Amino acid sequence: MRNFRSSVLVVLSLIIVLNVARASAKSKVHIVYLGEKQHDDPKFVTESHHQMLSSFLGSKDDAHESMVYSYRHGFSGFAAKLTKSQAKKIADSPEVIHVIPDSYYELATTRIWDYLGPSADNSKNLVSDTNMGDQTIIGVIDTGVWPESESFNDYGVGPVPSHWKGGCEPGENFISTNCNRKLIGAKYFINGFLAENQFNATESPDYISARDFDGHGTHVASIAGGSFVPNVSYKGLGRGTLRGGAPRARIAMYKACWYINELDGVTCSFSDIMKAIDEAIHDGVDVLSISLGGRVPLNSETDLRDGIATGAFHAVAKGIVVVCAGGNAGPSSQTVVNTAPWILTVAATTLDRSFATPIILGNNQVILGQAMYIGPELGFTSLVYPEDPGNSIDTFSGVCESLNLNSNRTMAGKVVLCFTTARDFTVVSTAASIVKAAGGLGLIIARNPGYNLAPCSDDFPCVAIDNELGTDILFYIRYTGSPVVKIQPSRTLVGEPVGTKVATFSSRGPNSISPAILKPDIAAPGVSILAATSPNDTLNAGGFVMRSGTSMAAPVISGVIALLKSLHPDWSPAAFRSAIVTTAWRTDPFGEQIAAESSSLKVPDPFDYGGGLVNPEKAAEPGLILDMGSQDYVLYLCSAGYNDSSISRLVGKVTVCSNPKPSVLDINLPSITIPNLKDEVTLTRTVTNVGPVDSVYKVLVEPPLGIQVVVTPETLVFNSKTKSVSFTVIVSTTHKINTGFYFGSLTWTDSIHNVVFPVSVRTQILQNYYDEN
């Protein structure tokens, strides 16, 4: 089937638009969005799509040739190959809400569950109370799945959930029996990509099926719901039982992202992702995990070019929790993606794990670097920093990206020190290859300590340190006659004293579309996460690999949601988000301060990690929740200033906003974010009691610097008749100048439950002055 090969959308370790060869200059895939489906019979809906298209193109044959997808489950619409004039003609039809051209996205990537708390070893906790997430279905949209991985074994897994309507689609090297009671669904979507791109079968080894070549999808799926796999080790760095967050939850893979080649990586088309979401809605998934995303500047939430936001809106309306990676463009502010308020957006943190690698200098100074080196100890060896001594005709460079400018004799038989500001690990691996090819024996890389870590090929010793320690080593080299160094094998350290940090790469808020909507919502481990992969993964070791990214953090939350869904099957997607955000850790699980990796370490704020680090056990019993439904999201869209027509396009039916429009500050979120405070503002929240029937909560306020916060009432009383209570918050500022954001919190407590709202406020005197004058 290699002659059928072609490429598709980009995946979130985040989703990026790629330049690919176009199959046709005259026609391009367009999405024709018709809104809410008008009939429950999918065949009828599809036939209506073909009839509409044939009426515009002139014949059924032309319509059949043009049609790429019929969206018929979560919403109504189709993807078709159209010229500009045909697209315009269809767009002018009163039946059509919107027509947009197809576009492309990119990917956002052991210890996790012991660290976060819900361990399967304890007889009484969230994992055991929910039977490990049994009967919950996690849908994953990604690069596919490697079904033979032990992470998808179905030992001890019961019958397939009765609400499952999907199946396993055969394709290249994939048959229906590759599925089982754990991996219950696998489909692939490539038509959108194939409609206008060439997929070179000789260059791309990907499978035209749900089988995963890249490994990203397999990794993500196994983090969310992988089965127990005993005695797992990655390159000798520790050993133990590996599992996903909900080890008895079921996995359904929707492959919409395709590996093109080594240069172009993975790509995913909007139309294919839309079809994947549409099918997932039909199939009956409970949670949808999407480790994909775009880049700033983002499309608005009502712009159908944001296929994830559009599809997620309809999924959430059907009760499906949609969890998305927040992006890997940190630590710069306003870089977070997947920011729609109906999406649960995830940031990435480190674990309490370190791969300490001793570097011993000739003066007996011991420096602990980070590496995944399990080779033999490298005894005292000459140490060099390639720089011009002032009397040489050779070219020297101590920059990691330019080590190839050095002569072989500069590096042969030595350990080389280099510096880099690059975040991509390929810079490290390339530098290590250059040193090794020159006859060097090892590499020490000085760089930002928060950047990705991975083993170098052939277990070549390459150790990462921060720039401060790199400078210490540099001075040792410069002021020592014959500098030498010893490198010992890496040792895995877990627990204290290893601190938790928000990862450098994790995209940060505030939300660049609607800064009053806090994003990200929550943080979860996403650095050096061990999980299953494809055998084709270059870093694969025994079927497993360590990857980093918000791509890895998102399925952690998906796994937690699967457990919570088993415990609270009637909760809405908003209720799950509320439970997770308001119960999160603001410290690590040991009570130590979390840090945020940036240009330097700092105390994290809500724009780094939302509510904080997910606390699964507390989220199971949050005490109070804040609920929202589709109409609440429409109110948000009205409050955000979108016009009626654009909201109608997204919702799929005629929508008219009230006049005056609602306040965005009144959206019932488990956070309070005020981006432009000048005068006193009043906002409202409504909480619902999900704890003991007779409960009394009192308020505690930690106001942001220079901000006054008054809550009314100060006590909330719940009983058998009073399930939900509203409260108001009056916020004012003492600042007389524009400020940045200051942060605080508002907590409702009954002495057992602490329901914490992160509070973020920015005073904007000058902007308001210009608005008024």
Give me the catalytic one of 269, 433, 490, 551: 551
Tens-digit pLDDT profile for residues 727-748:
999 999 999 888 899 999 999 9
- Mean pLDDT for 102-128 is 64
Give me the catalytic one of 73, 98, 216, 568: 216
| Among 146, 288, 128, CA closest to 213 | 146
Tens-digit pLDDT profile for residues 13-28:
433 333 333 333 478 8
For residue 11, being part of any structural domain is answered with no
- Token readout for 320 is 């499906």
- Token readout for 88 is 């315009």
Burial class (CB in 10 A: 0-12, 13-18, 19+), 275: buried
pLDDT grade for 436, boundaries at 50, 70 and 90: very high
Predicted pLDDT at 112: 65
- Mean pLDDT for 197-214 is 84
Specify whether 216 is catalytic. yes
Same domain? For 141 and 158 the reply is yes
pLDDT grade for 1, boundaries at 50, 70 and 90: very low
- Mean pLDDT for 49-54 is 87
Same domain? For 609 and 673 the reply is no
- Mean pLDDT for 655-674 is 94
pLDDT grade for 684, boundaries at 50, 70 and 90: very high
Predicted pLDDT at 443: 95
Predicted pLDDT at 238: 61
Predicted pLDDT at 23: 34
Same domain? For 127 and 276 the reply is yes
Same domain? For 186 and 245 the reply is yes
β-strands 462-465, 28-35 pairing: unpaired
For residue 19, being part of any structural domain is answered with no
Amino acid letter, 766: L
For residue 195, being part of any structural domain is answered with yes
Predicted pLDDT at 476: 95
Give backbone dihedrals phi and psi of 127, rounded to 5 degrees, phi first. Answer: -65, -45
Predicted pLDDT at 70: 85
Mean pLDDT lowest among 52-61, 319-328, 691-700: 52-61
| Contact residues for 584 (Cβ-Cβ < 8 A; gap 6+) | 522, 523, 609, 610, 611, 612, 613, 614, 615, 618, 619, 756
Mean pLDDT of the chain: 86
Length of the chain: 773
User: How many other CB atoms are there within 10 angstroms of residue 679's CB atom?
Assistant: 8
Tens-digit pLDDT profile for residues 366-385:
998 888 888 889 999 999 99
pLDDT grade for 124, boundaries at 50, 70 and 90: low
Mean pLDDT lowest among 298-302, 626-630, 765-769: 765-769
5 has a pLDDT exceeding 60: no
Cβ atoms of 240 and 266 within 8 Å: the answer is no
Cβ atoms of 398 and 480 within 8 Å: the answer is no
Site of tokens 């799509």: 49
- Mean pLDDT for 125-145 is 89
For residue 303, being part of any structural domain is answered with yes
Same domain? For 263 and 360 the reply is no
For residue 768, being part of any structural domain is answered with no
166 has a pLDDT exceeding 80: yes
Tens-digit pLDDT profile for residues 251-276:
999 999 998 887 778 888 888 999 99
Give the torsion sign (CA, 620, 624, 630, 636).
negative
Same domain? For 476 and 569 the reply is no
Predicted pLDDT at 50: 87
Same domain? For 508 and 440 the reply is no
- Token readout for 262 is 């080594």
Give me the catalytic one of 102, 134, 142, 278: 142
pTM: 0.85
Same domain? For 95 and 166 the reply is no
Predicted pLDDT at 16: 31
704 has a pLDDT exceeding 80: yes
Predicted pLDDT at 450: 60
Angle between helices 307-317 and 630-639 (to 10 degrees): 140
Predicted pLDDT at 8: 33
CATH number of the domain at 405, please. Answer: 3.50.30.30
d(CA 611, CA 502): 13
CATH number of the domain at 38, please. Answer: 3.30.70.80
Same domain? For 551 and 423 the reply is no
Mean pLDDT lowest among 204-208, 212-216, 319-323, 421-425: 421-425
Picking from 467, 490, 513, the residue at the C-terminal end of a domain is 490
230 has a pLDDT exceeding 80: yes
Give backbone dihedrals phi and psi of 29, rounded to 5 degrees, phi first. Answer: -65, 130
Predicted pLDDT at 588: 81
Picking from 40, 71, 101, the residue at the C-terminal end of a domain is 101
- Mean pLDDT for 566-593 is 93
- Token readout for 108 is 């956002």
| Among 137, 72, 139, CA closest to 275 | 72
For residue 736, being part of any structural domain is answered with yes
Total of domains in the chain: 4
**Ranges of H-type helices in 92-197:** 111-116, 126-129, 191-194
CATH number of the domain at 674, please. Answer: 2.60.40.2310
Predicted pLDDT at 498: 65
For residue 164, being part of any structural domain is answered with yes
Mean pLDDT lowest among 12-21, 135-144, 526-535: 12-21
| Domain residue limits at 409 | 355-490
pLDDT grade for 538, boundaries at 50, 70 and 90: confident
Around 39, how many Cα atoms within 13 Å sit in the side-chain half-sphere?
11
631 has a pLDDT exceeding 80: yes
Give ∠ CA 21-22-27 in degrees, rounded to 5: 175
d(CA 165, CA 283): 4
For residue 649, being part of any structural domain is answered with no
Same domain? For 91 and 196 the reply is no
Q: Percent of the chain, pLDDT > 70? A: 89
Specify whether 551 is catalytic. yes
Specify whether 588 is catalytic. no
Same domain? For 376 and 274 the reply is no
612 has a pLDDT exceeding 60: yes
CATH number of the domain at 525, please. Answer: 3.40.50.200
Same domain? For 216 and 347 the reply is yes
Picking from 622, 652, 686, the residue at the C-terminal end of a domain is 622
